[in-house]
Amino acid sequence: MYVAVKGGEAAIKKAHKLLADRRRGDRSVPALSLEQIAGQLSLAVDRVMAEGSLYDPELAAMAVRQSRGDMIEAIFLIRAYRTTLPRFGATRPVETAAMRIERRVSATYKDIPGGQLLGPTFDYTHRLIDPDMAGDHPVEPGARRDVTEDAAYPRVTDILNGEGLIEPDIPSDAEPGDLTRDPTGFPAGRDLRLQALARGDEGFLLSLGYSTQRGYGRTHPFVGEVRIGLVDLEIDLPELGFAVNIGAVRVTECQMVSQFKGGGEDGPRFTRGYGLVFGQSERKAMSMSLVDRALRADEFDENRAAPAQDEEFVLSHCDNVEATGFVEHLKLPHYVDFQAELDLLRMLRREHAAEKTAGTDRQEAAE
Amino acid sequence: MTLPAYNFAYLDEQTKRMIRRAILKGIAIPGYQVPFASREMPMPYGWGTGGVQVTAAILGPDDVLKVIDQGADDTTNAVSIRAFFAKTANVATTTKTADATIIQTRHRIPEEKLKAHQTIVFQVPIPEPLRFLEPRETETRVMHGLEEYGLVHVKLYEDIAQHGHIATTYAYPVKVEGRYVMDPSPIPKFDNPKLDRSPALQLFGAGREKRIYALPPFTQVTSLDFEDHPFAVQTFSRPCALCNATGVYMDEVVTDDRGGRMFVCSDTDNCETRQADGHKGPGLPQLGGSAPTARETAR
Q: How far is B78 from chain A, CA to nearest CA, in Å?
A: 9
Q: Note whether B42 contacts A11, CB cutoff 8 Å.
A: no
DSSP result, A127-163:
----GGGGTT---PPPP-----TT-----HHHHHHHT
Q: What Rg value do the Cα atoms of chain A yield, rounded?
A: 27
Residue B208 at interface with chain A, using a CB cutoff of 8 Å: yes
Can you tell me whether residue A275 is helix, strand or coil? strand
Q: What is the percent of chain A where pLDDT is above 90?
A: 76
Q: Note whether B165 contacts A347, CB cutoff 8 Å.
A: yes
**H-run or E-run covering A44:** helix A42-52
Residue B138 at interface with chain A, using a CB cutoff of 8 Å: yes
Nearby residues of B100 by Cβ (< 8 Å), 6 or more positions away: B64, B65, B66, B94, B118
Instruction: Write the single-letter amino acid at B126.
Output: I
Residues of chain B positioned with their CB less than 8 A from the CB of A35? none
pLDDT given for residue A2 in this prediction? 40
User: Degrees (nearest 5) of the Cα angle A231, A236, A242?
Assistant: 105
| DSSP-derived secondary structure letter, A359 | H
The rounded Cα B221 to chain-centroid distance in angstroms is 15
Instruction: Write the single-letter amino acid at B214.
Output: A
Asked if B265 is an active-site residue, the reply is: yes
Half-sphere exposure of B246 (CA within 13 A, CB side): 4
- Give mean pLDDT, residues B250-266: 90
* B255 in Cβ contact with B261 (< 8 Å): yes
Strand ranges (DSSP E) for chain A? 100-105, 222-237, 242-261, 269-278
* pLDDT band (50, 70, 90) for residue A47: very high
**H-run or E-run covering A339:** helix A335-366
Q: How far is Cα B249 from Cα B112, in angstroms, rounded to an integer?
A: 12
Separation in Å, CA A361 to CA A297, A351, A354, A364: 62, 15, 11, 5
Which of B25, B38, B78, B46 is closest to B203 using CA atoms? Answer: B25
**H-run or E-run covering A198:** helix A190-199
| DSSP-derived secondary structure letter, A103 | E
* pLDDT band (50, 70, 90) for residue A103: very high
Which range has the top average pLDDT, A10-14, A145-149, A280-284? Answer: A280-284
Residue B70 at interface with chain A, using a CB cutoff of 8 Å: yes
| DSSP-derived secondary structure letter, A258 | E
* A347 in Cβ contact with B165 (< 8 Å): yes
* pLDDT band (50, 70, 90) for residue A9: confident
* pLDDT band (50, 70, 90) for residue A358: confident
Asked if B243 is an active-site residue, the reply is: yes
Residue A87 at interface with chain B, using a CB cutoff of 8 Å: no
Residues of chain A positioned with their CB less than 8 A from the CB of B125? 326, 329
Q: How far is A236 from chain B, CA to nearest CA, in Å?
A: 23
> pTM here?
0.90
pLDDT given for residue A362 in this prediction? 66
Q: What are phi and psi of A277, to 5 degrees?
A: -135, 140
Instruction: Pick the more confident residue, A86 or A231.
Output: A231
Q: How far is Cα A296 from Cα A110, in angstroms, rounded to an integer?
A: 29
Nearest chain A residue to B253 by CA: give it. Answer: A2
* pLDDT band (50, 70, 90) for residue A40: very high
* pLDDT per position as a tens digit, B83-97: 999 999 999 999 999
Q: How far is Cα A26 from Cα A32, in angstroms, rounded to an integer?
A: 12
The residue count of chain A comes to: 367
Can you tell me whether residue A173 is helix, strand or coil? coil
The rounded Cα A236 to chain-centroid distance in angstroms is 28
Q: How far is B35 from chain A, CA to nearest CA, in Å?
A: 6
Instruction: Pick the more confident residue, A87 or B62.
Output: B62
Q: Are strands B119-123 and B102-106 parallel, antiparallel or unpaired?
A: parallel
Nearest Cβ partner of A325 from B44, B138, B234? B44
Q: What is the ipTM of this complex?
A: 0.85
* B123 in Cβ contact with B140 (< 8 Å): no
Nearby residues of B279 by Cβ (< 8 Å), 6 or more positions away: B243, B244, B245
Which of A311, A194, A191 is closest to A253 using CA atoms? Answer: A194
* B212 in Cβ contact with B22 (< 8 Å): yes
pLDDT given for residue B290 in this prediction? 39
Q: Is the pLDDT of residue B275 over 60?
A: yes
Which of A294, A254, A249 is closest to A275 using CA atoms? Answer: A254
- Give mean pLDDT, residues B282-286: 66
Which of A142, A294, A165, A278 is closest to A217 using CA atoms? Answer: A294
* pLDDT band (50, 70, 90) for residue A172: confident
Q: Is the pLDDT of residue B6 over 90?
A: no
Residue A317 at interface with chain B, using a CB cutoff of 8 Å: no
The three state secondary structure string of chain B is: CCCCCCECCECCHHHHHHHHHHHHHHHHCCCCCEECCCCCCCCCCCCCHHHHHHHHHHCCCCCEEEEEECCECCCHHHHHHHHHHHHHCCCEECCCHHHCCEEEEECCCCCCCCCCCCEEEEECCCCCCCCCCCCCHHHHHHHHHCCCCHHHHHHHHHHHHHHCCCCCCECCCEEECCCEEECCCCCEHHHHHHHCCCCCEEEEEECCCCEEEEECCCCCEEECCECCECCCCCCCCCCCCCCCCCCCCEEEEECCCCCCEEEEECCHHHHHHHHHCCCCCCCCCCECCCCCCHHHHHC
pLDDT given for residue A145 in this prediction? 83
Nearby residues of A220 by Cβ (< 8 Å), 6 or more positions away: A258, A259
Cis bond leading into B129, ω under 30°?
no
Asked if B240 is an active-site residue, the reply is: yes
* pLDDT per position as a tens digit, A147-164: 777 778 899 999 999 989
Mean pLDDT across chain A: 92
Q: Is the pLDDT of residue B286 over 60?
A: no
Q: Is the pLDDT of residue A4 over 80?
A: no
Window 183-212 of A: residues touching B by CB (8 A cutoff) are 183-186
Burial of residue A172, with CB atoms counted within 10 A of its CB: 0-12 exposed, 13-18 middle, 19 or more buried: exposed
Q: How far is Cα B222 from Cα B235, in angstroms, rounded to an integer?
A: 19
Give the domain ranges of chain A.
Answer: 8-82, 96-121+145-318
Q: Note whether B255 contacts A2, CB cutoff 8 Å.
A: yes
* pLDDT per position as a tens digit, A229-259: 999 999 998 899 899 999 999 999 999 999 8
Nearby residues of B249 by Cβ (< 8 Å), 6 or more positions away: A336, A339, B71, B108, B111, B188, B190, B191, B234, B236, B265, B266, B267
* A160 in Cβ contact with A257 (< 8 Å): yes
